[in-house]
Structure 1
Amino acid sequence: MSEEAYVNKHIEDKIATIEFFHPAHNSLPGNILAQLTDTITEMGQNKEVLVIVLKSGGDRTFCAGASFTELINIQDEVVGEKFFMGFANVINAMRKCPKFIIGRIQGKTVGGGVGLASAMDYCMATKFASIKLSELNLGIGPFVVGPAVQRKLGASGMSQIAIDANSFYSPEWAMQKGLYANVYDNTEELDEGIAALAKNLCGYNPEAVKEMKQMFWRGTEDWDQLLNERAKISGRLVLSSFTKEKLKKFK
């Protein structure tokens, strides 16, 4: 596995696979978020693509969330808002994409990674794919990803993991709450399940899929504005003395 961060895309049999990787446990700096946004939008507009699979590289962690390196270096609210808008842009790109996006969650996912998983249309995972919303530990909060997480887990599930920011919640819990559709024993079974689903989805009417996607996401039409407002909150809080002290521990 290369130690260079990347976002790759591959199209085969009308299935587009988008894979991102970062050597720091698949954390998400601004450039990776921007590439994900552009690639998801591009694949959504590609007439040769009927289904999208979103995955990360490596075997252990699906996504560690926001890049601590970039969080530490934020010095003003404008830069902070821009960084958190990176997550907003990815979520909105997934929301607006006219094709179903299948999520492949092979391992633990934290913070913004839970937001990505929540924005998938259909998420499949392994028994190692526990989740945690750790933002409150840093003095911020899951403001940008919150709407996507709450849409999938409900207000009760969202508030539970957001308040209990120290704990990982099991894949079984995530499946009971509706985040995961299936939980497999290993990545081989996970990949087989994803391949079978993606192949089946390719046999459906693209126009029906587009209309269904709009139906599923009804009520989120204000998210362009809402997530921007949430990014401003996070951009302000990341500059607080509380958060600055917390982030010093990660230098």
Structure 2
Amino acid sequence: MLTSDKNGTLLTTIENKIATVQFGHPASNSFPRVLLDRLTNELTFLSDNPEISVIVLKSEGVGAFCAGASFDELLAVSTLDEGTRFFSGFANLINAIRSCKKIIIGRIQGKAVGGGVGIIAACDYAIATQESAIKLSELAIGIGPFVIEPAVSRKIGKTAMAEMTLAAHEWKAASWAHQKGLYAKVLETQEELDQEVIAFSKKLSHYNPEALAEMKKVFWEGTAHWDKLLKERAAISGKLVLSDFTKNALIK
């Protein structure tokens, strides 16, 4: 299935029990709300597909993996309801990844910022290249990584999360992300990345799908309250994005 328009692209291919879901947007694979909703719905749909065992989540091109939220849409937010609704898109996506019955492998070919880091953290297993530096820049524009924090902290711990959040202008190298547990493996090139993703997903696709589904439940124990928590966090971001500080920072 392929959906494509000014709000980005979403392509799903299924082969040998592996579903590959690719999202894309001209602005460094950032997410307008429509694309967030499409990806959320697609993962929810694939969760109940008995013909697949594993999902590979990737982004378009050879540049950035994901630049997070669409700055154009952030600038357009004018009410608390609009802001909360926008950030709820990331909340819904993370919860869809969390509750998906399939193991989700993240293929990370380049840099990730903000919500992109949250998506990586929500994946059950992420494989990256040395180009896959990460940054949480939200404080620099007057908001904070409130919605994605539970997912990121779950992977790298509160201390590393605080380090990233407060050093909002600082890129963390892929090797740092690997050391902290965000990436399971870091490869030299994109060719090696693709080889590893294919090999690993193929191995998983031959495992008992019921065992994989039960294992996923174990991975995410203690997160059932995230449906409520992430919506509350979205409201915090939705309020802060209305501030003059944030509006001015986004324009610069």
- Does TM, normalized by the shorter one, top 0.5? yes
Q: How does 1:86-101 map to 2 (within 5 A)?
A: 86-101=89-104
Gaps of 5+ in 2: none
> Contact 1:102 / 1:124 at 8 angstroms: preserved in 2?
yes
Q: Which range moves more in the overlay, 15-24 or 42-51?
A: 42-51
Residue 62 of structure 1: CA displacement? Answer: 0.1
Which residue pairs with 1:189 in the alignment? 192
SS of residue in 1 equivalent to 2:157: helix
Which residue pairs with 2:244 in the alignment? 241
Equivalents in 2 of 1:134, 1:245: separation in Å? 15
Partner AA of 2:197 in structure 1 = I
> Contact 1:64 / 1:111 at 8 angstroms: preserved in 2?
yes
Partner AA of 2:49 in structure 1 = N
Runs of 4+ in 1 over 6 A off after TM superposition: none
What's the TM-score, normalizing by structure 1? 0.97
Which residue pairs with 1:77 in the alignment? 80
What's the TM-score, normalizing by structure 2? 0.97
Q: How does 1:1-251 map to 2 (within 5 A)?
A: 5-249=8-252
Equivalents in 1 of 2:251, 2:173: separation in Å? 29
Equivalents in 2 of 1:203, 1:18: separation in Å? 19
Residue 57 of structure 1: CA displacement? Answer: 0.1
Equivalents in 2 of 1:15, 1:129: separation in Å? 24
Residue 18 of structure 1: CA displacement? Answer: 0.3
Equivalents in 2 of 1:88, 1:3: separation in Å? 23
SS of residue in 2 equivalent to 1:11: strand
Equivalents in 2 of 1:165, 1:174: separation in Å? 15
Equivalents in 2 of 1:186, 1:38: separation in Å? 31
Equivalents in 1 of 2:5, 2:180: separation in Å? 34
Equivalents in 2 of 1:230, 1:3: separation in Å? 29
SS of residue in 1 equivalent to 2:34: helix
Number of aligned pairs? 248
> Contact 1:68 / 1:247 at 8 angstroms: preserved in 2?
yes
> Contact 1:3 / 1:22 at 8 angstroms: preserved in 2?
no
Root-mean-square deviation (CA, aligned residues, Å) is 1.0
Gaps of 5+ in 1: none
Residue 205 of structure 1: CA displacement? Answer: 1.0
SS of residue in 1 equivalent to 2:65: strand
SS of residue in 1 equivalent to 2:56: strand
Equivalents in 2 of 1:144, 1:210: separation in Å? 25
Residue 247 of structure 1: CA displacement? Answer: 1.6
Residue 16 of structure 1: CA displacement? Answer: 0.2
Partner AA of 2:123 in structure 1 = M
